Amino acid sequence: MRSPRHRKLEDRVGQVVNAFVFEFICSGLLPDSIAETSLQREGRAMLTAIANDLSDNGHTVSTLWHSSMGTWPAAGIDAIVVNSNEHALQQFHRLAQRCDITILIAPEFDGILYDLANRVAELGGQLANSTPEAIALTSDKLRFATHLQTHDMPTLNTIAWSPEKTILPFEFPAIVKPIDGAGSSDVFRLNGKSDLQQLVTCVREQDRHWIAQPFVSGTPASVGVICGEETNVLPLTQQRLSDDGRFYYSGGYAPAFPNRQQDVATLVRRLCKSIDGLRGYVGIDLILPDDPDSPPVIIELNPRLTTSYVGYRAMFGSGLADPILGRQTAKSSPGRHWISDVCVSWDSAGNVKTV
């Protein structure tokens, strides 16, 4: 028999939930060589945003915060300061077991998000995220592209690539990136054979798995989706990426492309239905081709909170937080259409302004 702590959260509408929100980088578990990057800025923005929204909705919220990050920036949240990996893991285990539900915000590379989700399950905790199996599928960009092709959904021709492959089966320009990358880390646009040769020299000694894809001309976009008994598709956002061939993320704008919203929503619902175990918030990256008659192209699915959440909460307030937990409230009644007249833009550090 399930204990009261493990009752489905949708059966506890109106009750306070004890939520553990864990952001991997802010906990100090990521190596120092990576910590001072855009991943840290984005992680901090996502963590403080969802923690504040859950707290504003009356829930009890706990998190981990590494001492090197300075003072925790929000009131009303139990931020446990940790100062070592051992301390962080000890507190992670305690909170994942004690709290009603855990929200994981972590990169997919090196199996980090997958391993954390498995750990919560093994501890007997309840995840607001997708199942480990769904995380494994969507974190592997080659497996995910194969899944999309099998289900006849528009995506890019994706192949495994290694530095030994000095010829690509498609024309330049091309994209090479890690098979399990997060954000725009180590993404390269190759405009010709000389770029490919330079990349081979650069990454030959790295113990990583890569994929290659043709470059498709179009506008980079993303859409947030809350998966559960219903698939709630949020407004499209336009991504701001650097034009130096590395595609560094600098923020976004929403709502964007209202004339493409319906087509994208239909496609996204098909996608989410095709993957068992998708749950909570996921972010889907797309390309909207320059040809308006061409369908949106799915690039990848992030099975976790994405930076766009900081923009969505500026549009909808804290009403998104409970559906992410699998709960419906007066702010998020079933069948609600997530439409807003508020236009916002944000940067990668989570700074939002109305436009």
Q: Tens-digit pLDDT profile for the chain (355 aa)?
A: 333 343 444 444 557 899 999 999 999 887 654 455 778 889 999 999 999 999 999 999 999 999 988 999 999 999 999 999 999 999 999 999 999 999 999 999 999 999 999 999 999 999 999 999 999 999 999 999 999 999 999 999 999 999 998 899 999 999 999 999 887 889 999 999 999 999 999 999 888 999 999 999 999 999 999 999 889 999 999 999 999 999 999 999 999 999 999 999 999 999 999 999 999 999 999 999 988 889 999 999 999 999 999 999 999 999 999 999 987 654 554 445 677 889 999 999 999 999 9
Give dist(CA 22, CA 25) in Å, integer.
9
Task: Give the span between the Cα atoms of 74 and 23, in whole angstroms.
Answer: 15
Task: Please report the pLDDT score of residue 14 as a whole number.
Answer: 55
Nearest to 323 by CA among 103, 29, 136: 103
The pLDDT of residue 4 is 38
Other beta carbons less than 10 A from residue 166's beta carbon: 10
Residue 17 three-state SS: coil
* Structural domains of the chain in order of their starting residue, each with its CATH number: 4-129 (3.40.50.11770), 157-214 (3.30.1490.20), 217-354 (3.30.470.20)
Can you give 266-310 as a three-state secondary structure string?
HHHHHHHHCCCCCCEEEEEEEEEECCCCCCCEEEEEECCCCCCHH
What pLDDT, on a 0 to 100 scale, did the predictor assign at position 331?
53
The one-letter amino acid at 130: S
Alpha-carbon radius of gyration of the chain: 20
Amino acid at 261: Q
Ramachandran region, residue 16 (left: φ > 0; alpha: ψ -120 to 50; beta: rest)? beta
CA–CA distance, 234 with 349 (Å, rounded to integer):
21
Residue 297 vs residues 63, 144, 263, 286: alpha-carbon distances, Å: 36, 13, 11, 5
CA-based torsion, 86, 91, 66, 312: positive or negative: positive
pLDDT (0 to 100) of residue 46: 97
Predicted confidence at residue 23, as pLDDT, reads: 97
Token pair 């990426």 is at which residue?
241
Phi-psi category of residue 54: left, alpha or beta, with phi > 0 → left and psi -120 to 50 → alpha: alpha
Structure confidence at residue 327 (pLDDT): 79
The answer to whether residues 197 and 166 touch, using CB atoms and an 8 Å cutoff, is yes
Q: How far apart are CA 227 and CA 224, in angstroms?
A: 10
